Amino acid sequence: MAGLKLVFALLAFAASVFASSVELVTPLGVRATSYCGQYDSVTSGNYILYLDQWGLDDATSGSDCASITSSSGSEIAWSATWTWTGGTGVKAYTNVALNSGLNQKLSAISSIPTSWSWSQSITSSSVADVAYDLFTSSSSGGSNEYEIMIWLSNTNSGPISYTYSSSGDAEPIASSISIGGYTWDLYYGSNGSNYVYSFLVQSGTITSFSSDIMDFFDYLVDYEDFSTSQYLTTVEAGTEETSGSATLTTSSYSVSIST
């Protein structure tokens, strides 16, 4: 009996060690650590992988784990697997953020070239989106004032808006905007902390996106009186998770800021 107790104790210890630090082996044989903590982050080159489970307390149960699968030069590959139940608010924005070239006025930026190839396995009843998320401030290093989102995918979710239809759908402030070879609808509202502009692709999902993000700012400057004196503080790309289950796999992602 004592021998059996020792065996069970060793098995329990091994299980706890495995659960606290998981390593994934990618198809290329690269070992990728999977991060699952609420605000875990890891830096690789010009990027930071953030879990950012800021709405975790609204969930009844769930989890969110992400890992960098490769990183070379200006490109990075990463994946995230999540499942959430309970609550109607966003639970997390698992993303990769740029950590170079920021805190410059829009007037000083000539282009923000980006390329993002990704795929997603998601349950049909899930509520989520795949999007870029950018923030600006009126001063370098100051508090964020504006949030600009570019949605490449929308699964049963919806953008922030000041106006909604009788059926509860957000209403755009502009429709059929042509940017980067795609057609977008633009929404505007406030999340209580920032004014939020959201560009949603009008139909379908963009799983291979190559564009200049500066074109979206140019539109806001030309048609929404957005100030070029705003400082670009944050450039992120990832998945906003509300409920359900999904795995987002980014095979290649890059973004940079050119002046």
**pLDDT mean by block of 10 residues, the chain; 259 residues:** 42 39 41 89 97 97 98 96 98 98 98 99 99 98 97 98 96 98 98 98 98 99 99 99 99 99
- Residue 118's pLDDT is 99
- Residue 34's pLDDT is 96
The reply to whether 171 belongs to the active site is no
Which among 182, 184, 170, 179 has a CA at the least distance from the CA of 217? 179
- Residue 141's pLDDT is 87
23, 75, 145, 147: the active-site residue: 147
* Cα–Cα distance measured from residue 36 to residue 18, given in angstroms and rounded to the nearest whole number: 13
Which among 162, 209, 201 has a CA at the least distance from the CA of 185? 201
The reply to whether 240 belongs to the active site is yes
- Residue 5's pLDDT is 42
- Asked if 247 contacts 80 with a C-beta cutoff of 8 angstroms, the reply is yes
Contacts (Cβ under 8 Å, ≥6 apart) of 45: 71, 73, 74, 76
For 154, the 3-state DSSP assignment is strand
- Residue 129's pLDDT is 99
Q: Give the position of tokens 């139909």.
A: 203
Strands 208-212 and 195-201: unpaired
pTM score, two decimals? Answer: 0.89
* H or E element in which residue 15 lies: helix 2-20
75, 171, 240, 241: the active-site residue: 240
- Asked if 176 contacts 113 with a C-beta cutoff of 8 angstroms, the reply is no
- Residue 17's pLDDT is 37
